[in-house]
Amino acid sequence: MLMMQNVIPNPGFGTFRLEGETLKQSIHAALEAGYRHIDTAQFYGNEAEVGEAIHDSDVHRSDIFLTTKVWFDNLEPSRLKVSVDESLQKLGTGYVDLLLIHWPSPEGDVPMADYLTALKEIKAEGKARHIGISNFTCNQVDEAVSILGKDEILTNQIEVHPFLQNRKLAEHCEHLGIQVTAFMPLAVGKVMDDPILKQIADAHKVTPAQVALAWVNQRKMITIPSSTKARNIQSNIAAFDLVLSDSEMDDIAMLDRQERIANPGFAPAWDE
């Protein structure tokens, strides 16, 4: 069952590390299963293939919520605008539904006011219906809000899974009215081996992956799981019909061990 939270269809279908025919087939399977949110990025190197898959599908472009992200080496305002035009050309569309800054500028090399102002101008030109941020810390979220106003920032896309619950940052965003989008919700498959998640899954006759996705959903977050297998694509969206008990949510809360997977050398100083 496809859920709507804010204006972003939930779940979305993530395309990180997918390419070629595998990517196209996965997107077709996702759209057939009922997904209406496709997430890509300049860094993924697959925008053209994502665009082709959407164009070749039976689902009209206007019914798909399409997200892409600007890479950090494109944050200088004039370069940012050129890169977005390049992304739109690759995607074969005149606009994206959501345009994110993928990472804040490393070491603040490009002032945040410069690239966020450019982002807002792109929205004003009709090339993005919504704008947002990704991998921004509490302090960076506050700075972004001071530049754009909180109502301008639709989401902060951050790593969230049972082993990195990111509660401080998530609650800070929610307090400001900024939707949290959780990426890597399955912790690159690690959720499948956790005894607690297995126990809860067995009780519901589902998979640990479905438990993890239901947990994210009950935290009122958008999430963007990825898979190349049609059965997993279908079971991931089916997870949004699963309701966990308060005690099960409490058990999962105990799994947080600050296990961060997306932590490149240019990452900001994370919130503790």
pLDDT tens per residue, range 128-173: 999 999 999 999 999 999 999 989 999 999 999 999 999 999 999 9
State both tokens at 186: 């399955």
Question: Which of 35, 44, 95, 115 does the annotation list as catalytic?
Answer: 44
The 10 Å Cβ neighbour count of residue 240 is 20
Name, in order, each residue with C-beta under 8 angstroms of 102's C-beta and a sequence gap of 6 or more. Answer: 41, 42, 43, 69, 70, 71, 72, 134, 135
Per-residue pLDDT of 47-96, as tens digits, reads 999 999 999 999 999 999 999 999 999 999 999 999 999 999 999 999 99
Q: How do beta strands 3-5 and 8-10 pair?
A: antiparallel
Contact 258, 268 (CB under 8 A): no
Contact 147, 186 (CB under 8 A): no
Instruction: Give the pLDDT confidence score for residue 272 in this predicted structure.
Output: 78
Tell how many helices (H) and how many strands (E) occur in the chain.
10, 10
pTM score, whole prediction = 0.96
Res 27 pLDDT > 50: yes
Q: Is 44 a catalytic residue?
A: yes
Q: Which domains occur in the chain, in start order? A: 3-253 (3.20.20.100)
State both tokens at 172: 């800070």
Measure the CA–CA gap between 238 and 28, rounded to whole angstroms: 17
Instruction: Give the pLDDT confidence score for residue 6 in this predicted structure.
Output: 61
Contact 72, 43 (CB under 8 A): no
Residue with tokens 């305002």: 77
SS3 content of the chain, % helix, strand, coil (to 5): 50, 15, 35
